[in-house]
Amino acid sequence: MFVDQVNVFVKSGDGGNGMVAFRREKYVPNGGPAGGDGGKGGDVIFEVEEGLRTLMDFRYNRHYKAPRGENGMSKNMHGRNTDPLVVKVPPGTMVTDASTGKLIADLVAHGQRAVIARGGRGGRGNSRFATPANPAPELAENGEPGEEKEITLELKLLADVGLVGFPSVGKSTLLSVVSAAKPKIAEYHFTTLSPNLGVVETEDSRSFVMADLPGLIEGAHEGVGLGHQFLRHIERTRVIVHVIDMSGLEGRDPYDDFLKINEELRQYNLRLTERPQLIVANKMDIPGAEEHLNEFKEKVGDYPIFPTSAITKSGVRDLLFEIANLLEHTPEFPLNEPEEAEDQEKRVLYKHEAEQQPFELSREDDGTFVVTGAKIERLFKMTDFSRDESIRRFSQQMRKMGIDQALRERGAEDGDIVRILQYEFEFIE
């Protein structure tokens, strides 16, 4: 089964907890704090493996969690940093954040890596909090929580040439003739249910990768037929080969087919119109095809047309030479335009953005005050509530953030319940 789009959940490792410990060695008076820091949690890294062709593995395993860092130890020993979780993906995989739609990584080259979720840092041990005023603190941090996110993996095949056209125009037959690929061929529509790749070599030893995409029909960009599932795969191609049935056996007008397919490409992604396009007038061995070709040439204009017959292989040699010539001077079309390095060096952009609120305060129907926000929740998770000093430190952090004052302004009184995450506290004036 060919799988080219899937949603998965990733979570990097939490940092290890810092430790509260003291030196108790003979002949060492006033040993002081000796709690070590926790280790860093593991990153979730995606790496390109050229041997993979689909996202099938992600269909059965949709959760990827990296291990957490090792806790700190006594004698100021640092916990071990955890190795990253490396997940293999096929070349051509685009990783986007499912909630925001923002592109995280575009992975195309073998061995290319991208950090999808960064591991949390380790919590600090009590030796980090020693001060002249408090030389023996019983205070340590828990590890920072790792990042977790829902991501979308989308595979866009890496092919130099893409074959497009209506069903049953001979795309699969053409690919089987010019390469060693063995696509399914039959006398009914939508024989091809997934893209097929083949390596083509010309007589002068030039080679390129050709993709046979499932047949498109009118309305494909809106989800009609099968082609809409695979239009994404043509986005990376540098040359489009438009295969048209000139025999007229299907009862369609070749010029009308040409207009409809190009309109579908334009509606799906306007940038597809920038690619050079060759027209393959296929099935020229069938009687009546020559008359249809003459009418087609009068209407189509300046497009290069190659009369061929995939069955008899006539015209195929000239077609392959022209494709190879086009590829030599056709640049790649990046899916995301990178900014030029020179422009980045010359231009400095200053933006005025409102400071993000560190917390939000709401109230439920039962009178409970709910405090939410990434910053306050992160501090909460890194606090060790089993120690009084840690609790006092967290209370001071809340006071500095303005949460106490915000609760008073919302009418909080002694004994009211305040909730952070799933934990509840009493508000004390």
As a whole number, mean pLDDT of residues 84-108 equals 91
DSSP for 27-39 reads T-TT--B-PPPPP
314 is in an annotated binding site: no
Q: Which of 71-75, 124-128, 351-355, 360-364 has the lowest mean pLDDT?
A: 351-355
| 106 Cβ contact partners less than 8 Å away, ≥ 6 residues apart | 93, 94, 95, 335, 336
Q: Which residue has the higher pLDDT, 40 or 200?
A: 40
pLDDT score for 351: 60
Residue 283 marked as a ligand binder: yes
| pLDDT tens-digit readout, 116-132 | 999 999 999 999 999 88
Does the annotation flag 380 for ligand binding?
no
The answer to whether the annotation marks 276 as part of a ligand binding site is: no
285 labeled binding residue: yes
* Pairing relationship of beta strands 63-65 and 5-11 according to DSSP bridges: parallel
212 belongs to an annotated ligand binding site: yes
**CATH superfamily of domain region 1-156:** GTP1/OBG domain (2.70.210.12)
Q: Sorting pLDDT into bands at 50, 70 and 90, what band is 104?
A: very high
Q: What is the pLDDT of residue 68?
A: 94
Q: Does residue 248 have a known ligand-binding role?
A: no
The answer to whether 202 is a known ligand-binding residue is no
Summarize pLDDT for 4-35 with one digit per residue, the tens: 788 999 999 999 999 999 988 787 777 889 99
C-alpha 385/C-alpha 123 separation (Å) is 14
Please say whether the structural domain 360-426 has been given the CATH code 3.30.300.350. Answer: yes
Band of residue 234 on the pLDDT scale cut at 50, 70, 90: confident
Q: Taking all residues of the chain, what is their mean pLDDT, rounded to a whole number?
A: 82
Domain positions in the chain? 1-156, 161-328, 360-426
CA 82 to chain centre: 24
**101 labelled binding-site residue:** no
**140 — pLDDT class (breaks 50, 70, 90):** very high
Instruction: Reply yes or no on whether the pLDDT at 300 is more than 60.
Output: yes
d(CA 122, CA 109): 33
- Is 166 known as a binding-site position? yes
Asked whether 375 and 355 are in contact (CB, 8 A), the reply is no
State yes or no: pLDDT of 204 exceeds 70: yes
Q: What percent of the chain has pLDDT over 70?
A: 85
- 310 annotated binding-site participant: yes
Asked if residue 39 has pLDDT above 90, the reply is yes
- Kindly state the average pLDDT of the residues 367-377: 89
Has 170 been labeled as part of a binding site? yes
Annotated ligand binding at 214? The verdict is: yes
282 is in an annotated binding site: yes
Mean pLDDT, rounded, for 266-287: 83
Q: How many CA atoms lie within 13 A of 408 on its CB side?
A: 6
Assess whether the region 1-156 and the region 360-426 belong to the same CATH fold: no
Annotated binding residue at 167? yes
Yes or no: is domain 161-328 CATH 3.40.50.300? Answer: yes
Q: Does residue 221 surpass a pLDDT of 50?
A: no
106 appears as a binding residue in the annotation: no
What pTM was computed for the model? Answer: 0.73
Judge whether residue 191 has pLDDT over 50: no
For residue 124, CA distances in Å to 15, 19, 149, 295, 351 come to 10, 7, 26, 79, 34
Does 362 count as an annotated binding residue?
Answer: no
Q: Does residue 99 have a known ligand-binding role? A: no
Query: 379: part of which helix (H) or strand (E)?
Result: helix 374-381
- Report DSSP letters for 120-146, one per residue: PPPPPPGGGG--SS-SS----BPPPPP
Query: Bridge partners of 360?
Result: 372
126: tokens are 């009590």
Say if residue 404 carries a ligand binding annotation: no
205 is in an annotated binding site: no
pLDDT of the residue at 95: 93
- For 310-330, write each residue's pLDDT tens digit: 888 888 888 889 889 988 888
Place of tokens 């092919």: 159
Q: Is 213 part of any known ligand binding site?
A: yes
The reported pLDDT for the residue numbered 331 is: 80
Q: How many residues does the chain have?
A: 429
Q: Using 50, 70 and 90 to split pLDDT, how confident is the model at 356?
A: low
Bigger pLDDT: 211 vs 228:
211
pLDDT above 60 for 65: yes
